[in-house]
Structure 1
């Protein structure tokens, strides 16, 4: 664990666990890299090196006033990859992290990436746009931003209820909400604005590595239609539907997700 300077005065926190082929995890909004502990605690036993980062404004990373757009966040990812001298990376992005991963593939030509895993990705667009009728309306995200300014803990608690299709213990839910509380207020707002405004439809054609799309059919935050659009837009991609999972694709069907994800990154990638 440690910090990497991605621009003057901005340091990102990262954790680096295990040895072997690297898997770089990008977290979702409004969480941080700790959301993947049920993956990073298992995959090293199978010979994988797991790296998580906290995006700027989230978790233990610095909280600059600016930089909460996917171009800047994908530049941050590039800096981490280069500073850690990673090669043949599986880039695994959840929700907002999946959108940033797609922007990385276009903006940085997929540099050093050998596989892409999109986990309940907030893409091709998180909000409805002309020709794209899926997801939230921009006005609904504006309400989340308003709630963040007024009562961020309540917003996180209400938004968190939509994550899971499975029953989780009160203790787990409390821990999960604590991840969002570690973010800064302006980082939370900046990430929400990016979700509202960014559009990755033009990024899909830049993906030229084996891609796995992991998505829950019960997802209330990033509807399953997102996965179908990604599958259509990324030639040769593999779609892994999870019948009993909501947005929390990494936890709702934990054993099945870990086994399927391990199969994909181990080159035994059959849907």
Structure 2
């Protein structure tokens, strides 16, 4: 099903909730929507998982909020969604800004309901270049993004996917469909919350949040990520998260979940392991296969 629910400050949050079994909740990147995860949701649904994805406040089909567009509020909205659906033994998957949202959720709300976490091309621990974070990106990069959004976001959302998905590299084939989908998702959001979110994904320091992630965590990052460079991001995050596995995709882009969906989905399923509460029929079928093989 798909539905809206209302969080404490009156903001309506859109979400999809499909299937049964162990729940997997996806947090999307900027300026996208839950639809960015279509390939993963369909695959995991067919593997017996319950899959949930929401549109962050100000994005997609959720309320176009003038206020409350902060990382703390994003995390609190996520907490309200998790409580609303009473999710337990939950796997959280966050891409880019969504990876920051997942980290901040755990930093503020803990892991009582969480079994595992996956951060993909994620912004933690800090994107912005500072004296303590010399490998980060200079503030001018984010000022340019703000200007592009304010001046002509429609044109910007046609150009940005080329770097986002690595289509500006000669060896990579361009997908016009992916570019069109990115543009459509970006234009569904409100310009004020999308503008505000730039500061949140670039200037939020997630160092202390990462230290609080006490569940098994998978980091996935491409070496040719032109949006969130791997060195100040996942390579640093891997030093801060206690129980972490880092998978580096050689030559891959920021949008690897879309352009390398088969590989990415396989890695997700491998990390999730056999802990899914898959339907009894599917479990029974596997047991029958095992017994049959032992007798032949």
- TM-score, normalised with respect to structure 2: 0.87
Tell me by how many angstroms 1:232 deviates: 0.9
Match of 2:278 in 1: none
In the alignment, the residues of structure 2 paired with residue 20 and residue 130 of structure 1 have an alpha-carbon distance, to the nearest angstrom, of: 46
Q: Which residue of 1 aligns with 2:253?
A: 246
SS of the residue 1:42 aligns to:
helix
Gaps of 5+ in 2: 167-171, 276-296
Deviations for 1:59-105, whole angstroms, at most 9, x for unmatched residues? 00001211111111100000000000100100100000000110111
The alignment status of 1:187 with 2:193, answered yes or no, reads: yes
Cα distance between partner residues in 1 of 2:158 and 2:112: 37
What pairs up with 1:124-163 in 2 under 5 angstroms?
Answer: 124-163=125-164
2:217 to 202, 211, 214: 211
Q: How far does residue 244 in structure 1 lie from its aligned partner after superposition?
A: 3.4
SS of equivalent residue, structure 2 residue 119: strand
* Matched residue, 2:17: 16
Deviation sequence 1:168-192 (CA, Å, 0-9, x none): 3213311222111111100110111
Q: What are the within-5 Å matches in structure 2 for residues 73-222 of structure 1?
A: 73-165=74-166, 166-222=172-228
Given candidates 243, 266, 282, the residue that maps to 1:236 is 243
Please provide the CA RMSD for this pair. 1.3
Q: Is the 8 A contact 2:96 2:122 kept in 1?
A: yes
Aligned length: 268
> 1:252: how far off?
2.5
In structure 2, the residue matched to 1:7 is 8
Match of 2:271 among 250, 261, 264: 264
- Distance, in Å, in 2 between the alignment partners of 1:130 and 1:74 is 27
Structure 2: distance between partners of 1:64 and 1:17: 26
Distance across 2 between alignment mates of 1:20 and 1:169: 33
Question: After TM superposition, where is structure 1 displaced by more than 3 Å over at least 4 residues in a row?
Answer: none
Higher mean Cα deviation, 132-141 or 85-94? 132-141
Do the aligned partners of 1:12 and 1:62 also contact (CA within 8 Å) in 2?
yes
SS at match of 2:256: coil
Which whole-Å CA distance do the structure 1 matches of 2:15 and 2:161 have between them?
Answer: 24
Query: Which runs of 5 or more structure 1 residues have no equivalent in the other structure?
Result: none
Between the aligned partners of 1:263 and 1:121, the Cα distance in structure 2 is: 20
Deviations 1:177-222 (A, max 9, x none): 2111111100110111112321111211111000000111110111
Of the structure 1 ranges 10-19 and 149-158, higher mean CA displacement relative to structure 2 is found in: 149-158
Question: Is this contact kept in 1: 2:18–2:51, CA < 8 A?
Answer: yes
The answer as to whether partners of 2:59 and 2:194 remain within 8 angstroms in 1 is: yes
Contact 2:130 2:136 in 1 (8 A): no
Q: TM-score, normalised by structure 1?
A: 0.95
